Structure 1
Amino acid sequence: MNLASTIDEALYKQVKTQRGFTYSYFFSPPTAGKPVIFFSHGFPSSSYVWREQVAFFKPLGFGLVVPDLLGYGGTDRPTDPKLYIGSGLAQDVVNIFDAEGIAKVIAVGHDWGSSVVSRLINLHPNRVSACAFVTVGYGAPNPAAKAVITQPGMMTKMVGYETFAYMRFFCQPDAAEIIEKNIDSFLCLVYPEKTEIWKDNMCVEGGARAWIEGNTINPVASYMTPELLGHERSALLKGGLAAPLCWYKVLLEDAKAADDAAVPAEAHAVMQPLLFVASTRDPVCLPIFGDTNHGKHAKGVVTRREIAGDHWVLESHAAETPSLVLKVSVLLKSAHTSARPAKILGEF
């Protein structure tokens, strides 16, 4: 099952990028005068996670580009982490835009998808008219990113606990095999009924490995219906976890550090109108991370909205997030036509 199974299978297409990868993506062209929205998913999702947004925006005439990003769904699944560097992923997406004759997009990212939107802004700013970041904010190029994995205790000094401890397990050679063997335990950990599960297990050294190796089972969040959980399980087992985990493993690669270092400092600024949808009950991707980056790098109109939800607000608050994203088109218009955009934004 993918996004097409609930909307229109005929609207999924494929393109081979200049790096030689075949991407699968949902595409619906815009009606006259409407912008195109690019939706960028994260781990362990696929284009399917944006199905509610597609169902909302398509009847309104917005153009939509919703790919399975590298390693997921119907897109190629290389297992060399070096292939997941930011410049390469951004170029792949630009190749999709080119294939459809799209000059500019409103770029919307969630989780790791926010990193793709960020590199689009850095390396192809003329292709992004406005941007929205859901749960995970804009991230500037960071050649020292591997410190999050290689320096235990760093995050504890910053926020009081080890927010990204689980990444060290995800980067281990046997992580994919362990997760696939205990897929239901993995899903219980990723989509728990109580967010404390993340803080007590994913944010504790060795906690994620112990949970999944022990095949721990707990109630999942109510928004993860049996049908949705079944989709996640079958999609992950069909393609395996080796490729999706490369999004974490690339953090340890020298190629990633060099790729980030090559981005000029002046390109770190976000000049486009920016919307940040902060999830106040996410114990890992804390809103302060996005707020800090936006305060440092966002130079255009910035709007911040909060949702009292966990990391998966695209599922738990499916009726709320499309209307928030719709604000991006208002942001774009106000940034170009109003001398006092903050006043207009305050009327949202």
Structure 2
Amino acid sequence: MKERNFRRIETNGVHLNTVVEGQGPLVILLHGWPQCWYLWRHQIDPLVEAGFQVAVPNQRGYDGSDAPEEIEAYDILHLTGDVVGIADALGHETFIVVGHDWGAPVAWNTALLYEERVNAVVGMSVPYFRYPVGALTKQENFGDNFWYMVYFQKPGIAEAEFEADIRRTLRIIHYSISASAPEGIVLNPKPSTSGFLDGLSDPEQLPKGMTEEDLEYYVAQYKQSGFRGNLNWYRNIDRNMEITPQLEGKKISQPALFIAGEKDIVLQFPGMSLDAMTELVPNLKAQVIVPGAGHWVPAEYPQEVNKALLSFLKDFSPQR
């Protein structure tokens, strides 16, 4: 693995273990779950070579970064405040924010809440949206079927399942929502009393974009952090809507880009609509759907992602 320059950045009341590379306009890359900074391993150097400074934090609740005890410490106001604090710590008045999976809602909301600070925003996998409170977290909305966001609401349950065998957990999750998995395996109905991993395949081979070395790195990260802090992000889904009523109907004004894999199951989630996003993000320059890619598009198809990302960012590069 290539050596990276890690800095422990103090921001918004926490310390975040952050890769910082390069010089120039700042690009902050935000990972999702169950990931860490390492998701962006193929994007850092191309961005640096294009003239950007790149900051890639392990966000709060992830290895090497602080993991506050209170569930409310993981709401969207804390998470977006962390992002702006990274820019402050690195001496940047404005920046570009890029997020994948859970990092995408943080990126979209940073652009909304700190409009004057964010020059451009990129979301990957998760379009910008606002759900009604309870729509994703109440079992009655899913009948007798299992829905993972409901399962994650009660502290300790998912943690116990996942931490029983961290290597198996990460191997199954990363495979199941990759392009390598059989189509629809995650969304196949199962009883509401099921565990997250029930019915999912434990693959003989790792998915596209993941090597044994990659898996071992993730396992080491999660053996240190566990799952409590990062699962607390899900326990704030409703709170995020309740504490940001001022964002209801507000549009993202900055130049924006959306990237997702053709086979990404997130695009099949209830209420998910790329058309709706175009109304809320009027300056959306492009929606890039990468053929053959699953959920982990930055790792599965890095060349395609880098091409789209650098093309979008060329107007912000000092090398233009």
Give the shorter-chain TM-score range. 0.7 to 0.9
Residue 36 of structure 1 contacts residue 106 of structure 1 at CA under 8 Å; is this kept in 2? Answer: yes
1:227 and 2:213 equivalent? yes
Deviation readout 1:182-232 (Å, 9 max, x if unpaired): 32332233122314364355x6444861635x8963333143211111111
1:130 and 2:109 equivalent? no
- The letter for the 2-side match of 1:187 is L
* TM value normalised by structure 2: 0.86
2:306 match: 322
1:6 and 2:2 equivalent? yes
Residue 274 of structure 1 contacts residue 302 of structure 1 at CA under 8 Å; is this kept in 2? Answer: yes
In 1, the alpha carbon distance for the partners of 2:94 and 2:190 equals 42
Q: Which has the higher helix share?
A: 1
Deviation readout 1:83-107 (Å, 9 max, x if unpaired): 1111111111111111111122221
1:234-245 matched pairs, under 5 angstroms:
234-245=220-231
- The letter for the 1-side match of 2:18 is Y
The DSSP-based 3-state class of the residue aligned with 1:129 is: strand
1:28 and 2:21 equivalent? yes
2:282 match: 299
Deviation at 1:112, TM superposition (A): 0.2
Higher relative contact order (CA 8 A, sep 6+): 2
Q: 1:184/1:206 Cα in 2 relative to 1: closer, same or farther (>3 Å)?
A: farther
The DSSP-based 3-state class of the residue aligned with 1:57 is: helix
1:149 and 2:137 equivalent? yes
Deviation at 1:13, TM superposition (A): 1.2
Deviation readout 1:45-71 (Å, 9 max, x if unpaired): 111111110022222321111111111
Of 9, 19, 43, the residue aligned with 1:15 is 9
Residue 270 of structure 1 contacts residue 299 of structure 1 at CA under 8 Å; is this kept in 2? Answer: yes
- The letter for the 1-side match of 2:288 is R
Q: 1:82/1:68 Cα in 2 relative to 1: closer, same or farther (>3 Å)?
A: same
1:103 and 2:93 equivalent? yes
In 1, the alpha carbon distance for the partners of 2:94 and 2:28 equals 9
Residue 76 of structure 2 contacts residue 109 of structure 2 at CA under 8 Å; is this kept in 1? Answer: yes
* TM value normalised by structure 1: 0.80
2:33 match: 43
1:276 and 2:258 equivalent? yes
The DSSP-based 3-state class of the residue aligned with 2:55 is: strand
Deviation at 1:313, TM superposition (A): 1.0
Deviation at 1:153, TM superposition (A): 4.2
Deviation readout 1:234-284 (Å, 9 max, x if unpaired): 2112210111111111225xx4343122x2446x21111111112210123
Tell me whether 37-46 or 322-331 shows the greater mean CA deviation: 322-331
Identity across the alignment (%): 24
Residue 273 of structure 1 contacts residue 331 of structure 1 at CA under 8 Å; is this kept in 2? Answer: no
Q: 1:107/1:182 Cα in 2 relative to 1: closer, same or farther (>3 Å)?
A: same
2:52 match: 62
Q: 1:15/1:184 Cα in 2 relative to 1: closer, same or farther (>3 Å)?
A: closer
Q: 1:101/1:195 Cα in 2 relative to 1: closer, same or farther (>3 Å)?
A: farther
In 2, the alpha carbon distance for the partners of 1:256 and 1:72 equals 20
How many matched pairs? 309
The DSSP-based 3-state class of the residue aligned with 1:281 is: coil
In 2, the alpha carbon distance for the partners of 1:208 and 1:223 equals 29
Q: 1:7/1:57 Cα in 2 relative to 1: closer, same or farther (>3 Å)?
A: farther
Provide structure 2 residue ranges, at least 5 long, that are not aligned to the other structure.
none
In 2, the alpha carbon distance for the partners of 1:208 and 1:121 equals 37
2:150 match: 168
In 1, the alpha carbon distance for the partners of 2:148 and 2:299 equals 22
Q: 1:111/1:68 Cα in 2 relative to 1: closer, same or farther (>3 Å)?
A: same
**RMSD between aligned residues:** 2.7
1:257-272 matched pairs, under 5 angstroms:
257-261=241-245, 263-265=246-248, 268-272=250-254
In 1, the alpha carbon distance for the partners of 2:18 and 2:30 equals 11
Of 181, 190, 194, the residue aligned with 1:194 is 181
Provide structure 1 residue ranges, at least 5 long, that are not aligned to the other structure.
157-161, 334-348
The DSSP-based 3-state class of the residue aligned with 1:117 is: helix
1:217 and 2:202 equivalent? yes
